[in-house]
């Protein structure tokens, strides 16, 4: 037991079960008498519903019930928005099933409940809906024009915010260099491996909801609030969940409606989506137009930054829709020092699927804009992009550092990460090759892109969430129980869906209690077992939930110490704890923690005031965010004849603080980089002018696979966070945040000699070719 | 998604299969299902009955028949890839098949299904067209031979009549001096071709004596690049080849979709044809 578990590349405890199919996906679960739900979805982006006739469907074989929005109107409530970012924000009523009006293609207008899915699907065809078309509102700029059709009565503006710090006018007045750019963060569709599914059942009094969700605890509270069913009569279970990326950080229409159907019918019901249904109705991500202005001195020093965002909310505000662009509000200034900063954001309603959290949530957008603009500054000054960054970033001896946007970065070392990345990448050699290809007029040009990013992780200090008007706290909870035989049961309020919490938490507990890794089990994702929690998103689980586990272990150890002192007739202060045993200092006398667990269980001889249990729980609420950072470098080859971009090499040096499990960290970074590259090169949700989603299948919405990506070279620096006792910073989103600008910077770098300064994402071969055609003419 | 109801039949012989199809106008042949099942699941097709011919031995196998290779319609892409007769007798088929989808799909999808489906974005129709393959169809009335040039009628439409089953394809073996290449342009490894070019080029003494070029996804059907074929005849390797390939998009009417607009596809056809011809001619 002398080996420290934290830091070991432990293979994941979860994997044998997951890989051999011994899984519990929601859509594989069943109940006696289970009925199947299918939703009829609006084919119109915007229309008044004149009538819905489900009577023919009710008569179809196998059909148990069919309902329209009218049938739910009295009980369905409104889907919640927990983050009203301003006082005067417009939060429209959001019925889980549309009653009078539909506002995006895919909105549910009716449902069928049948004895199997096939019959339910057949019966959908028999439902008649009479729509009176209203104009679609697809483009944000047009939506804000005074003559635009309205998505909601109150207009198309959800909210507007401006935040200023420093004298922005002075920063731009007489600035030798001003860079002015507009970037488009295209709309993305989160594509978790497991599509969403919900099952609901009732015993006549209480309800159980199984859902493929990231947030069983939040969901339970919200289902109670929305439906009026008392909270103590709702149990939510998130069984195995196959990925989320933010898309399952939501209270969905389908969850509410399945619960209401179980109540209406008194029977278990289940719904599972198809991939194309998911593309339409899983909340989407990104979708911003970013206007960025940066003022600098002629030596490259940044004076000020002005950001104006239009953020597409889609048709409604869902759980944290308006908060997503606001999560970027303090991140555009990134790792750079400057005199002044202004951030403005307008949330815009359109007749499209609502947007909400998607891996990185607001921070990838911010990072993209600043990292692109720093490259533009370098180009304008004829300076190396690394050098421009060096002249502006916070130096390692300056931490803790309070940025212009008001965050205090506790720790970091941008110099170290960058030096390491440059060496691994072979930066100078690649620059030489680039120059050579340019000289030769090679049809395949080389481009080099950098991104020196940071992010705010560990969402979040409850006090700060309160200041941001968020409707909940950001703490996390854990319980640790020693069982009579000396094994350990950990209950976490986080809700893993692919991150490997069971493994990492076991490593943490093993060190804290001196118990073997294999003797520890971790329970989660069921509100009847893990009764308290704030769930998993925003790279928060280890940073907050992991620390809660440590705190609970500390309490267990202290209880054990008192018991040990009593049994060995000494003072608790005379005991040393090491390798899972308390030893009376200077003697051979000791008790293992397993022996103490048994002694607590038999309770034959407990000291005064010690209960018959060796367990404890704890909540942790940090007093600051954590700030992972890193330097990513990407080299691309651009075929100037076809426009095809190929990633030639990719180096990432990340600083995520203390590493609990290097394998898991590497997995998160690998997947994250892939997802960020996907935004740069492949993915885009496209709506036509009538508001139809054109990318409903994977033939149109392109997800890259391993075959489309190079091997990434990964390394780390470790600058422990000072805001939590583990020194961890979070790694769930780092790769995604960093990689998108690194790739686009590389592409633009390859094309700059042609006079090209931007390619809109995704940088498809056709877009690259058209840009080249534009300048060749 | 969930398909509508249909009947399923798995006849024991090709004759029975022909019979089953003759009985029902709305019946469809089921081969590997890799194109048909997605259509059913999206409810874009509502056949009354699927006649599964996937296990009929009469339609399987790849055979060396002296002057041609006969590829059974139900040979899977994977079997075609591994067949020695293909490697030696019609290597262009193997080159293109290696680009079809991914290994899982190549184990189910069939050579015949790919042709009968008549998707101009499929990789194999342009290859069979370029190689002047002959498609052999069977029905209750007997056997019929259809030259590839007459087989592809329109988008997802072949000249197979209702009740006709594609039994296999005869691919003539090339003579001496031929080189081959299939150039596929796509954004992700498993995606369909935005444009593809199948090239068979015969060389003699540093000049091209003959070229046969098939274009993938440049119109409602696979197409031959006739103008470029003619322009290449007798041309020395070098800049003249590039010039000849400038005509590769002549007479095409490429589709417009999210991946490419027609003018870009025309441009790609020219660039890719040049690359394919050069590689096939052995002058990279
Ligand atoms: C994700 C994915 C990616 C793909 N990517 C590619 C790609 O990159 N390139 C490519 O070329 N293909 C691709 N395909 C298609 C694949 O090659 C299929 O195998 C092929 O298109 C159809 O073959 P099948 O045997 O599955 O036919 P099926 O799907 O069973 O049938 C297709 C059609 O042909 C008819 N049919 C089949 N066999 C016969 C017959 N013997 N006689 C008469 N009619 C018949 C059927 O009735 C049906 O209308 C892809 C498929 C998928 C699912």
d(CA B261, CA B283): 30
pLDDT at A695 over 70: yes
Task: Give tens-digit pLDDT for A489-510.
Answer: 999 999 999 999 999 999 999 9
Q: Among A553, A554, A552, A585, which Cα is nearest to A568's?
A: A585
CATH of domain B7-52: 3.30.43.10
pTM: 0.97
Over the stretch A193-229, which tens digit does the pLDDT of each residue have?
999 999 999 999 999 999 999 999 999 999 999 999 9
Backbone angles phi, psi at B271, to 5 degrees: -65, -45
Distance from the Cα of residue A746 to its chain's centroid: 25
Ligand 1 pocket member B51 (CB < 6 A) = no
How many Å lie between the centroid of ligand 1 and the Cα of residue A26?
32
pLDDT in tens, B122-154: 999 999 999 999 999 999 999 999 999 999 999
Q: Whose C-alpha lies nearest to ligand 1, atom 41? A: B166
CATH classification of the domain holding A522: 3.30.365.10
- Here the contacts of A271-275 (C-beta below 8 Å, separation 24 or greater) are A271/A36, A271/A37, A271/A38, A271/A39, A271/A197, A271/A198, A271/A199, A272/A26, A272/A27, A272/A117, A272/A195, A272/A196, A272/A197, A272/A198, A273/A195, A273/A196, A273/A197, A274/A195, A274/B1, A274/B2, A274/B41, A275/A195, A275/A697, A275/A698
Over residues B198-236, the pLDDT tens digits come to 999 999 988 999 999 999 999 999 999 999 999 999 999
> Domain total for chain A?
3
Q: Say if CB B235 and CB B244 are below 8 A apart.
A: yes
The answer to whether position A206 is within a domain reads yes
**Chain B hits for A644, Cβ within 8 Å:** 185
For A688-722, give one letter per residue: b (16+ CB within 10 A) or e.
eeebbbebbebebbbebeeebbeebebebbebbbe
HSE-up of residue A722 (Cα within 13 Å, Cβ side) = 8
* DSSP summary character for residue A542: I
B35 CA closest ligand 1 atom index: 29
Within an 8 Å CB–CB cutoff, is residue B191 touching chain A? yes
Q: Give first-to-last CA distance, chain A, whole Å.
A: 71
Q: Are residues A657 and A592 in the same domain?
A: no
Question: Which residue of B3, B10, B35 sits with most ligand 1 atoms within 8 Å of its CB, as the best mutation to test the pocket?
Answer: B35
DSSP string for A185-227: EEEE----SSPPEEEEEESSS-EEEEE--S-HHHHHHHHHHHH
pLDDT tens per residue across span A34-80: 999 999 999 999 999 999 999 999 999 999 999 999 999 999 999 99
Most B-contacting residue of A702, A703, A707, A774 (CB-CB within 10 A), to test interface:
A702
Which pairing describes strands A340-349 and A581-584: parallel, antiparallel, or unpaired? unpaired
The CATH number assigned to the domain with range B60-172 reads 3.30.465.10
- Residue B28 Cβ < 6 Å to ligand 1: yes
Please count the other Cβ atoms lying within 10 Å of the Cβ belonging to residue A415.
15
The verdict on the CB of residue B122 being under 6 Å from ligand 1 is yes
Taking only the tens place, the pLDDT of each residue in A284-308 is: 999 999 999 999 999 999 999 999 9
| ∠ CA A54-A59-A62, rounded to 5° | 110
Distance from CA of B173 to the nearest CA of A (A): 33
The reply to whether A492 falls in a domain is: yes
Cβ distance of B259 and A766 shorter than 8 Å: yes
Residue of B nearest to A686 (CA): B258
| pLDDT tens, residue by residue, B24-37 | 999 999 999 999 99
- Cα–Cα distance between A495 and B49 in angstroms, integer? 46
Lookup: tokens for A390 = 């060096």
Domain co-membership, A424 together with A454: yes
Same structural domain, A209 and A90: yes
Let me know whether A687 and A768 are in one domain: yes
Query: Which residues of B fall within a CB distance of 8 Å from A705?
Result: 188-190
Q: Hey, which residues 103-162 in chain A have their CB within 8 Å of chain B?
A: 117-118, 121-122
Rounded to a whole number, what is the distance in Å from the CA of A773 to chain B's nearest CA? 10
Q: Write down the pLDDT at residue A413.
A: 98
pLDDT in tens, A619-639: 999 999 999 999 999 999 999
- Looking at the structure, do residues A639 and A745 belong to the same domain, yes or no? yes
Element holding B81 (H helix, E strand)? helix B77-82
In a domain, A374, yes or no: yes
Shortest-distance atom of ligand 1 to CA B184:
8
Tell me how far apart the alpha carbons of residues A329 and B147 are, in angstroms, rounded to a whole number: 65
Question: Residue A2 pLDDT more than 70?
Answer: no
Three-class DSSP category at B54: coil
Please report whether residue A183 resides in a domain: no
Atom of ligand 1 nearest to the CA of B109: 19
Chain-chain contact of A118 with B5 (C-beta, under 8 angstroms): yes
Q: Is residue A148 in some structural domain? A: no
Identify whether residues A595 and A664 lie together within a single domain: no
Cα of B33 to ligand 1 centre, how many Å?
6
Backbone angles phi, psi at A745, to 5 degrees: -60, -40
Cβ contact, residue pair A703, B2, below 8 Å: no
A388 and A506 part of one domain: no
% of chain A exceeding 90 in pLDDT: 98
DSSP sequence for B126-177: HHHHHTT-EEEEEETTEEEEEEHHHHEEETTEESPPTT-EEEEEEEEPP-TT
Determine, for residues B5 and A122 on separate chains, whether the beta-carbon distance falls below 8 Å: yes
Do residue A324 and residue A410 come from a single domain? yes
With an 8 Å Cβ cutoff, are A642 and B189 in contact? no
**B115 CB less than 6 Å from ligand 1?**
no
Q: What's the pLDDT at B2?
A: 87
pLDDT, tens digit, for every residue of A548-580? Answer: 999 999 999 999 999 999 999 999 999 999 999
Residue at a domain's end among A258, A281, A304:
A281
A positions 652-711 inside 8 Å of B (CB): 681-682, 686, 694-695, 697, 699-700, 702-705, 707-708
Contact A412, A402 (CB under 8 A): no
Asked whether the beta carbons of A585 and A569 are under 8 A apart, the reply is no
pLDDT, tens only, A389-404: 999 999 999 999 999 9
Query: Looking at the partner chain, which of B4, B187, B190 has a beta carbon nearest the beta carbon of A765?
Result: B187
Determine phi and psi for A25, rounding to 5 degrees. Answer: -80, 145
Q: How confident is the model at residue A1 (pLDDT cuts 50, 70, 90)?
A: very low
Q: Domain for residue A266, yes or no? A: yes
H helix runs in A361-480, sequence order: 363-381, 385-392, 414-425, 427-440, 462-467
Contact B4 A121 (CB under 8 A): yes
Q: Pull the structure tokens for residue A42.
A: 């609006």
Using pLDDT thresholds of 50, 70 and 90, give the confidence band for residue A10: very high
Q: Find chain A residues with C-beta within 8 A of B190's C-beta.
A: 705, 707
Residue A543's nearest CA partner among A513, A498, A508 is A508
Tell me the shortest Cα–Cα distance from B136 to chain A, in angstroms: 31
- Protein residue whose Cα sits closest to atom 14 of ligand 1: B101
Q: Is A155 a member of any domain?
A: no
Same domain, A704 and A593: no
B203: tokens are 């060389």
C-alpha R_g of chain B: 19
B269: nearest Cα among B240, B248, B242: B248
For residue A632, being part of any structural domain is answered with yes
Backbone dihedral region for residue A643 (phi beyond 0: left; psi -120 to 50: alpha; all else: beta): left
Q: B230 CB near a chain A CB, below 8 Å?
A: no
Q: ipTM value of the model?
A: 0.96
Question: Cα–Cα–Cα angle for A738, A740, A745, nearest 5°?
Answer: 100
Q: Are A351 and A45 a contacting pair, CB within 8 Å?
A: yes
Q: Which residue has the tokens 């441009």?
A: B267
User: How far is A725 from A551, CA to CA, in rounded Å?
Assistant: 9
A120: domain CATH number is 3.90.1170.50
Nearest atom (ligand 1) to Cα of B96: 11
From chain A, pick out residues whose CB is under 8 angstroms from the CB of B2. 38, 117-118, 121, 274
B34 C-alpha to center of ligand 1: Å? Answer: 5
Residue A553: its pLDDT value, please?
98
Query: What is the greatest pairwise CA distance in chain B?
Result: 61
A702: nearest CA partner in chain B: B188
Q: Are residues A254 and A110 in the same domain?
A: yes
The mean pLDDT value for A427-451 works out to 98
Q: Where are the domains of chain B?
A: 7-52, 60-172, 178-280
Residue B123 alpha carbon to ligand 1 centre in Å: 11
Selected for mutation to probe chain B from A680, A761, A765 (highest B CB count within 10 Å) is A765
CA A550 to chain centre: 24
A397 close to A611: Cβ distance less than 8 angstroms: no
Contact B192 A122 (CB under 8 A): no
CA distance A230 to A511: 41
pLDDT at A393: 98
Q: What range defines the domain where residue A332 resides? A: 285-459+624-776
Chain B residue closest in CA terms to A696:
B42
Shared domain for A306 and A274, answered yes or no, is no
Placement of tokens 């090169």 in the chain: A681
Q: Is domain B178-280 annotated with CATH 3.30.390.50?
A: yes
- Selected residue with higher pLDDT from A468 and A346: A346
Looking at the fold, whether A304 and A428 belong to one and the same domain comes out as: yes
């Amino acid at each position: 037991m002398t080996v420290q578990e934290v830091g070991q590349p432990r293979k994941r405890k979860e994997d044998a079960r997951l890989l051999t199919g011994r899984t519990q996906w929601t859509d594989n679960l069943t109940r006696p008498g289970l009925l199947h739900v299918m939703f009829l979805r609006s084919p119109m982006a915007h229309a008044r519903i004149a009538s819905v006739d489900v009577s023919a469907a009710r008569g179809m074989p196998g059909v148990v019930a069919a309902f329209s929005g009218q049938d739910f109107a009295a009980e369905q409530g409104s889907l919640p928005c927990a983050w009203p970012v301003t006082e005067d924000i417009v939060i429209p009523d959001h019925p889980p099933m549309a009653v009078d009006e539909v506002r995006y293609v895919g909105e549910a207008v009716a449902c069928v409940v049948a004895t199997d899915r096939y019959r339910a699907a057949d019966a959908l065809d028999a439902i008649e809906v009479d729509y009176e078309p209203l104009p679609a509102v697809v483009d944000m700029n047009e939506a804000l024009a005074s003559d635009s059709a309205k998505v909601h009565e109150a207009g198309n503006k959800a909210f507007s915010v401006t935040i200023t710090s420093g004298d922005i006018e002075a920063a731009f007045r007489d600035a030798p260099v001003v860079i002015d750019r507009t970037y488009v963060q295209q709309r993305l569709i989160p594509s978790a491996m497991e599509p969403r599914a919900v099952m609901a059942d009732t015993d006549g009094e209480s309800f159980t909801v199984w859902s493929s969700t990231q947030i069983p605890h939040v969901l339970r509270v919200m289902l109670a609030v929305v439906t009026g069913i008392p909270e103590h009569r709702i149990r939510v279970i998130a069984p195995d969940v196959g990925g989320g990326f933010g898309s399952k950080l939501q209270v969905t229409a389908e969850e509410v409606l399945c619960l209401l159907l179980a109540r209406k019918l008194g029977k278990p019901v289940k719904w599972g989506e198809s991939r194309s249904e998911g593309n339409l109705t899983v909340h989407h991500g990104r979708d911003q137009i970013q206007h960025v202005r940066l003022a600098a001195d002629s030596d490259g020093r940044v004076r000020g930054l002005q950001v104006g965002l239009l953020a597409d909310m889609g048709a409604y505000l869902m759980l944290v829709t308006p908060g997503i662009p606001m999560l970027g509000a303090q991140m555009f200034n990134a790792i750079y020092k400057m005199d002044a900063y202004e951030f403005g954001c307008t949330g815009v309603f359109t007749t499209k699927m609502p947007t909400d959290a998607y891996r990185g949530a607001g921070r990838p957008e911010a990072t993209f804009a600043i990292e692109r603009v720093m490259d533009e500054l370098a180009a304008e000054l004829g300076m190396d992009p690394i050098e421009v960054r060096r002249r502006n970033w916070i130096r390692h001896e300056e931490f803790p550092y309070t940025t212009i946007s008001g965050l205090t970065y506790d720790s970091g070392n941008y110099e170290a990460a960058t030096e390491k990345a440059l060496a691994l990448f072979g930066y100078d050699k690649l620059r030489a090759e680039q120059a050579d290809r340019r000289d030769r007029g090679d049809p395949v040009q080389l481009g080099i892109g950098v991104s020196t990013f940071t992010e705010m992780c560990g969402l979040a200090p409850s006090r700060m969430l309160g200041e941001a008007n968020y409707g909940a706290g950001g703490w996390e909870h854990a319980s640790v129980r020693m069982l009579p035989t000396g094994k350990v049961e950990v209950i976490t309020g986080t809700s893993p869906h692919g991150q490997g919490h069971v493994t990492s938490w076991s490593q943490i507990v093993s060190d804290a209690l001196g118990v073997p890794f294999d003797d520890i089990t971790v329970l989660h994702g069921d509100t009847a077992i893990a009764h308290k929690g704030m769930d998993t998103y925003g790279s928060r689980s280890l940073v907050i939930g992991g620390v809660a586990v440590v705190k609970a272990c500390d309490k267990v150890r202290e209880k054990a110490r008192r018991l040990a002192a009593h049994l060995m007739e000494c003072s608790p202060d005379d005991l040393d704890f090491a390798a899972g045993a308390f030893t009376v200092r200077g003697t051979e006398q000791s008790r293992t923690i397993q022996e103490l667990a048994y002694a607590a269980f038999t309770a034959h001889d407990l000291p005064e005031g010690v209960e018959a249990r060796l367990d404890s729980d704890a909540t942790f609420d940090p007093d600051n965010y954590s700030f992972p950072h890193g330097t990513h470098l990407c080299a691309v080859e651009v075929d100037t004849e076809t426009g095809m971009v190929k990633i030639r090499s990719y180096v990432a040096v990340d600083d995520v603080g203390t590493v609990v499990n290097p394998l898991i960290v590497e997995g998160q970074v690998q997947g994250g980089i892939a997802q960020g590259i996907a935004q740069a090169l492949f993915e885009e949700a496209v709506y036509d002018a009538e508001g139809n989603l054109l990318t409903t299948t994977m033939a149109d919405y392109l997800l890259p696979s391993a075959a489309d990506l190079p091997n990434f070279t990964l390394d780390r620096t470790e600058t422990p966070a000072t805001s939590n006792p583990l020194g961890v910073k979070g790694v769930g989103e780092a790769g995604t945040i960093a990689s998108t600008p690194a790739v686009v910077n590389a592409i633009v770098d390859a094309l700059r000699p042609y006079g090209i300064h931007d390619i809109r994402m995704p940088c498809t071969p056709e877009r690259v070719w058209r840009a080249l055609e534009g300048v060749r003419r | 998604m969930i398909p509508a109801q249909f009947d399923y039949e798995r006849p024991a012989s090709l004759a029975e299969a022909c019979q089953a199809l003759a009985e029902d106008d709305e019946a469809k042949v089921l081969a590997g299902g890799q194109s048909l099942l997605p259509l059913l699941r999206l409810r874009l097709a509502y056949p009354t009955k699927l006649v599964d011919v996937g296990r009929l031995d009469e339609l399987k196998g790849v055979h060396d028949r002296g002057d041609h290779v006969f590829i059974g319609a139900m040979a899977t892409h994977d079997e075609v890839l591994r067949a020695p007769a293909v490697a030696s007798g019609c290597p262009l088929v193997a080159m293109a098949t290696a680009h079809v989808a991914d290994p899982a799909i190549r184990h189910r999808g069939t050579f015949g299904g790919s042709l009968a489906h008549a998707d101009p974005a499929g990789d194999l129709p342009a290859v069979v067209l370029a190689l002047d393959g002959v498609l052999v169809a069977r029905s209750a009335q007997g056997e019929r031979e259809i030259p590839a040039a007459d087989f592809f009628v329109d988008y997802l439409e072949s000249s197979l009549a209702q009740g006709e089953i594609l039994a296999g394809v005869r691919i003539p073996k090339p003579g001496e001096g031929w080189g081959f290449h299939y150039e596929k342009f796509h954004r992700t490894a498993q995606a369909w071709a935005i444009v593809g070019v199948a090239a068979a080029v015969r060389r003699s003494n540093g000049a091209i004596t003959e070229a046969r070029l098939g274009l993938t996804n440049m119109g409602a059907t696979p197409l031959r690049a006739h103008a470029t074929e003619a322009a290449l005849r007798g041309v020395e390797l070098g800049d003249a080849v590039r010039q000849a390939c400038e005509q590769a998009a002549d007479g095409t009417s490429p589709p417009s979709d999210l991946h490419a607009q027609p003018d870009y596809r025309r441009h790609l056809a020219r660039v890719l044809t040049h690359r394919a011809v050069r590689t096939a001619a052995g002058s990279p």
